[in-house]
Copies of this chain bind each other. A is one copy, B any other.
Amino acid sequence: MRSSNRFESHAGLFNLCIVVLIAVNSRLIIENLMKYGLLIRAGFWFSARSLRDWPLLMCCLTLPAFPLGAFMVEKLAYRKYIPEKLVIFLHVIITTATIVYPVLVIIKCDSAVLSGFVLMILDCILWLKLVSYAHTNYDIRALSKTVDKDDLRSSYLDPDNMKGVSFKSLVYFMVAPTLCYQQSYPRTACIRKGWVIRQLIKCLIFTGLMGFIIEQYINPIVKNSQHPLKGNLLNALERVLKLSVPTLYVWLCMFYCFFHLWLNILAELLRFGDREFYKDWWNAKTVEEYWRMWNMPVHKWMVRHIYFPCIRNGLPKGVAVFISFLTSAIFHELLVAVPCHSFKFWAFLGIMLQIPLVILTKYLQNKFRNTMVGNMIFWFFFCIFGQPMCILLYYHDVMNRKVRTE
């Protein structure tokens, strides 16, 4: 009687799961409220302490110098004033400086974690854009040379891509919600103002919710924890599991705010046509699928500037994937370790650990032909285990460092 295989026969049990989830969460909210009261303070959003980080703001405001430098290099290269090798060398210097300069500022200033993190995010986006800019312009120049040599083939080429470097297209690329440079993008006809306002309001609400969850739920849990690798194992497990639920909600809020709301708002304001900022990663059947779907701007950048160049240079697919994950791991480490002033490679290891998970979930997917197993493993490693573990590891490193320096 219970062996019926149709999905409908268990629809009620799924509803039960949701009801139990709501009940358990409500109880945890009440418990938290009875234990701590409301923790949100008026000074949470604007505190005098964040003014201490003005060098970071200055650093942020000087960042546009790098794309300007890259533009001048391209202009010179286009007019063939400087040889190709010097162009590459100058671009390497500019992109390296783009990364090194804010890292040094953050380390020197001993800045707060949040402001450092925001600067590093902006900086990494800039780096990715500059690499794409240099790489694409290099390809266009190489292409136009073959066109010069062999006029017959010019009919195959898109004339749009063959125009000279323009300052306007660089500025548009720098603000547009994409990491892959093109001289022109598909554009929408107009800006839907009412829609933008609605999305902005949603964005504000969900950012507020995110801040509230962090202050009210994540902070007390993290403060009451011990270093997850040093204390009692059972205790650490309890903390990780307790942390996993609010972390998951913050992650979902963050994803919704940034990838769904903010990037769409930006695209709408810039009349940017391509709105594929994410695919349905929540259904990912393997870990690889997740990494291909959750962040389309970075994924497209990776494919265009890392994966395909590797393949074109004769590397096997597996090595190309490995190099992509390695790049990702280095940037995740930079993003997290620099603002935390703690280079312990947890984020790096976290991303590199994805490679065995990719292989494992692919194997399971082939073996069971069941979409649920891989998806659940992904959710477990990503949200239940991975993120809370990273938060705890970095939190205790930051705290230990503070204790030592004070």
Contact = CB atoms under 8 A, between A and B. Distances in A.
Interface of A: 1-2, 4, 8-21, 23-24, 26-27, 30-31, 33-34, 234-235, 237-238, 241-242, 244-245, 248, 260, 275, 278, 280-284, 371-372, 375-376, 379-380, 383-384
Nearest to A275: B1
Contact of A282 (B16, B26, B237): B16
Given A12-B375, A275-B1, A30 B280 contact: no
Interface centre among A13, A275, A371 (most CB of B within 10 A): A13
Nearest to A284: B12
Listed residue (A16, A26, A242, A284) with the most chain B CB atoms within 10 angstroms of its CB: A16
A17 B17 contact: yes
A241 B284 CA distance: 33
B27 A238 contact: yes
Nearest to A237: B30
Contacts of A284: 12
B234 A19 contact: no
A27 B248 contact: no
A11 B235 contact: no
Contact of A15 (B11, B241, B281, B379): B379
A169 to B, nearest CB: 27
Contacts of A244: 20, 23
A27 B260 CA distance: 32
Contact of A24 (B4, B12, B245, B379): B245
A248 B20 CA distance: 9
Shortest Cβ-Cβ A-B pairs, 3 listed: A27-B241, A12-B283, A12-B282
